[in-house]
């Protein structure tokens, strides 16, 4: 009788532990964003105008919070979709997944840095550049999760292509934001909204040969 191979007999165990650990890191990173929004200092006398002026000074921080909140949320959703395709454990998942989580965990710092110096080239470029780093790490883990021997046999090629296109569109949108931030810092983070547009472009390009 052959000895049991835990990874082969129970692949879900390793995948579930990694998915749960990853979810925890995403949750902590997304929660830490709000800690960087400090309560405005208001000197006496405490008038309504003084409070409003204090809140007005925190507008860049709130903008940075919402942008990063939904950015991290989008990467978490992408991570979840890719893990949903996996059925077989592989030690090749360790390093790429840790690199992605490391990049995600640093988001609160880059968010605070860009928010405190809103509209300046270096902080904005570092923020958008870090989004590029996250996107590259995301693509790497997606590739492993949607390729043999990790991917489940039930997952269609079309579904795997869709997941990869989402990762590629995030990279293209982040690169667009990074390049924009070098020339027009005020529009740097705004250009992250091009991510869905890049996805549409990739989908059309993928369909073009079939229509020819």
Question: Cβ contacts of residue 99 below 8 Å, gap of 6+?
Answer: 137, 140
Q: What is d(CA 133, CA 139) in angstroms, rounded to the nearest whole number?
A: 10
Architecture of the CATH domain 10-211: Up-down Bundle (1.20)
pLDDT in tens, 10-61: 456 899 999 999 999 999 999 999 998 999 988 888 899 999 999 999 999 9
pLDDT in tens, 89-119: 999 999 999 999 999 999 999 999 999 999 9
Tokens 């983070």 correspond to 189
CA 114 from chain center: how many Å? 17
pLDDT in tens, 162-191: 999 999 999 999 999 999 999 999 999 999
* pLDDT at position 84 over 60: yes
What integer pLDDT is reported at residue 3 of this predicted model?
42
* pLDDT at position 8 over 90: no
Question: Domain extents for the chain?
Answer: 10-211
State the pTM of this model.
0.90
CB 111 within 8 A of CB 64: yes
**Interval 115-135 mean pLDDT:** 97
Beta-bridge mates of residue 86: 151
What integer pLDDT is reported at residue 36 of this predicted model?
86
């Amino acid at each position: 009788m052959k000895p049991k191979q835990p990874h082969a007999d129970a692949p879900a165990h390793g995948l579930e532990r990694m998915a749960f650990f990853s979810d925890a890191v995403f949750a902590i990173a997304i929660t830490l964003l709000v800690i960087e929004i400090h309560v405005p200092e208001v000197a006496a006398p405490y008038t309504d105008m003084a409070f409003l002026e204090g809140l007005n000074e925190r507008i860049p921080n709130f903008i940075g919070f919402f942008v990063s909140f939904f950015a991290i949320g989008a990467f978490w959703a992408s991570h979840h979709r890719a893990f949903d395709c996996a059925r077989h454990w592989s030690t090749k998942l360790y390093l790429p997944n840790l690199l992605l989580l490391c990049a995600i965990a640093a988001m609160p710092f880059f968010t605070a840095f860009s928010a405190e110096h809103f509209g300046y080239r270096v902080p904005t470029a570092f923020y958008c550049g870090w989004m590029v780093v996250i996107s590259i790490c995301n693509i790497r883990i997606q590739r492993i999760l949607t390729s043999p021997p990790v991917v489940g046999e039930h997952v269609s090629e079309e579904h795997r292509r869709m997941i990869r296109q989402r990762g590629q569109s995030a990279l293209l949108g982040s690169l667009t934001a990074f390049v924009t931030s070098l020339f027009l810092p005020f529009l740097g983070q705004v250009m992250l909204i091009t991510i869905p547009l890049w996805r549409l472009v990739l989908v059309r390009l993928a369909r073009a040969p079939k229509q020819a």
